Structure 1
Amino acid sequence: MMYKDQLNRALQFKTTPKRIVSLVPSLTELICDLGLEAYLVGVTKFCVHPQHIRTNVAVVGGTKQVHIDKIEALQPDIILCNKEENTQDIVENCSVVAQVHISDIYTIDDCLALIIMYGELFAVEQKAQELVKTITAKKADFLKTIDNKPKPKVAYLIWKNPWMVAAQQTFIDYMLSINKFENVFGALQRYPEVDLKDEKFKDAEYVFLSTEPYPFKESDAIAIQASYPNIKVILVDGELFSWYGSRLIKAFDYFKKLHQEYLN
């Protein structure tokens, strides 16, 4: 059987792959929500959903550094990677061990396409279709709630020391646009370093501090609020802005609450 990943790379399997190593936290959760948790033999130290997964499954490193010897010892049929989260070296080294499926996500349509891909690849087509249907319905319902709403300007901080923001060509920027937020750093690329005194912050009506990858706390929000008293600084759930698997089921309810609590 021949399949393709989201980089249009061909993968060949004689039978449905049953031993999965996932090097992407959001995809680990997706695999479990597709009913395939029993197939997982390796995950990263950042795979925190479901909470028990790192207890039940071997941990093979992080998303940027992995222990190839540990992965090889697990004898996987397939290794799940992501173009953004995993390095080219990781992909190349893993390719010596097993077939590597690479996801490439920028939009929700990309997410839904990946879910369908996994449904076919792991022979769980019905479950995949159900997930896609649920996410699509929740997105449509959310978009109705923000129809005719204004487009507030926001800055989305993902890191501290150095300060870094999410800019264009990122899934976070796409999720901001879904929420009808205008990214004041949207003209920049990817995840640039910025000065907290950058004039663009003065254009923002809101500054969002993400809980991941840097774990911003309320104390950070208070400190930035002191520097920008006319801007509302909000601590936001980074997983719901950046995870592109089945966590999207929870994202739109969260966004609805975010608008209701802070933007009305």
Structure 2
Amino acid sequence: MTIKKLIALLLAFAMLLAVPACSKKEKDTGSAGTSESESMDENGNFPVKFEKARIKEAPERVVSLSPSLTEIICDLGYFNKLAGVSDYCTYENEDIDGLPKVGTINAPKMESIETIKPDVVLTSSPFIEADLVKLQQMNAVVVVLPRAKSMQELETLYTDVGRIFEGETDGAAKGKALFSEQSARIDEIAAKIKTATVDKQPVAAYLRLMPLTLATGDTFEGQLLEAIGFKNSASAYGEWIYPQDKAIDLMPDVLFYDKAIGLEGVKGSQIYNTTPAYANSKCFEFDFEVFERQGIRMFDMLEDMAKQACPEAFAAQE
């Protein structure tokens, strides 16, 4: 046998050995794909995947270390799944009264959480690594859902909360439905104000803290102010900072201020007691903590703000 024939036979033999190996690899790959497909339940709900978390099935015991998420959970009707809430949760709801307070994102009460044995722990900001490891050792799935900074992000937030509790199909649909209802309310309020103030769009300021911590154009609160039909007097600025040297130009027709400031605080400020809002008794007090919660109460407050500032727009409704 010549050397050339020997080499040819060896190559042919090597190719025969390679074919089963390739077939096995293809079979294994296909098997993995099938397994992943079969892992989704018959309704297409679970598992639910997030960037750093995977929820295999609908949770029965959930701990929320975010007051805003707790409120949204209740708004979506999942209050019966809550087993523990943040120390900062002040939401008055008889359905969750008496639930254990299990600390905060910065100081979670690990022993209390471990006693609850949660399936899922929700928060709006990440845990430090040591706390995350402890929760994972409890077999809890940790999901971080940040506070929304726009209406688009709020829709995603509502949808994600729904997904956690009822899955990719049913839960997502419920979250989107709640958002659509509240978004429609915003549009309706804006239409009423536009009709009632056709000659001049009212200019409004949202005062969070004295002297010039105002909802600027880049804030969600500032965007919501404009969404319901007002012109935001601080829209040109950012990061809740209204320039001190521009204070003389601050002349809102309407002033919404936080309850911690109080009317006396407004009266005693030369920035605000010289404005059209003050002269025309268009200064209104609200608890702006509600805006940080981002639930249905936030939309209720927006409607109340509009009604107080422009009662004529809602006269027929009343």
TM-score of the pair, normalised by structure 1: 0.76
Match of 1:132?
Answer: 179
Distance 1:140 1:92, change over 3 A: farther
Distance 1:140 1:176, change over 3 A: closer
Larger % of strand: which?
Answer: 1
Using the alignment, how far apart are the partners of 1:95 and 1:22 within structure 2? 14
Match of 1:189?
Answer: 238
Corresponding residue SS for 1:21:
strand
What is the letter of the counterpart of residue 131 of structure 1? L
Identity of paired residues, percent? 24
Using the alignment, how far apart are the partners of 2:66 and 2:248 within structure 1? 32
Match of 2:132?
Answer: 95
Distance 1:129 1:165, change over 3 A: closer
Q: Which runs of 5+ in 2 are unaligned?
A: 1-46, 278-282
- The structure 1 residue matched to 2:150, chosen from 76, 101, 107, is 107
Match of 2:296?
Answer: 246
Larger Rg: 2
Using the alignment, how far apart are the partners of 1:41 and 1:34 within structure 2? 16
Structure scoring higher RCO (CA < 8 A, sep ≥ 6) equals 1
Distance 1:80 1:163, change over 3 A: farther
What is the letter of the counterpart of residue 2 of structure 1? V
Corresponding residue SS for 1:106:
coil
The correspondence of residues 194-233 of structure 1 with structure 2, limited to 5 A, is: 198-200=245-247, 202-205=249-252, 206-211=254-259, 215-224=260-269, 228-232=273-277, 233=283
Asked whether 1:40 is paired with 2:82, we answer yes
Distance 1:12 1:62, change over 3 A: closer
What number of residue pairs does the alignment pair up? 248
TM-score of the pair, normalised by structure 2: 0.65
Larger % of helix: which?
Answer: 2
Please tell me whether the aligned partners of residues 20 and 41 of structure 1 are also in contact (alpha carbons under 8 angstroms).
yes
Corresponding residue SS for 1:207:
strand
Using the alignment, how far apart are the partners of 1:108 and 1:22 within structure 2? 22
Corresponding residue SS for 1:47:
coil
What is the letter of the counterpart of residue 108 of structure 1? M
RMSD, matched Cα: 3.3
Q: Which runs of 5+ in 1 are unaligned?
A: none
Using the alignment, how far apart are the partners of 1:110 and 1:55 within structure 2? 29
Distance 1:209 1:191, change over 3 A: same
What is the letter of the counterpart of residue 26 of structure 1? S
Match of 2:307?
Answer: 257
Asked whether 1:159 is paired with 2:209, we answer yes
Match of 1:117?
Answer: 160
Match of 1:2?
Answer: 48
Please tell me whether the aligned partners of residues 86 and 103 of structure 2 are also in contact (alpha carbons under 8 angstroms).
yes
Using the alignment, how far apart are the partners of 2:207 and 2:302 within structure 1? 20
Deviation at 1:172, TM superposition (A): 0.9
- The structure 1 residue matched to 2:193, chosen from 138, 141, 146, is 146
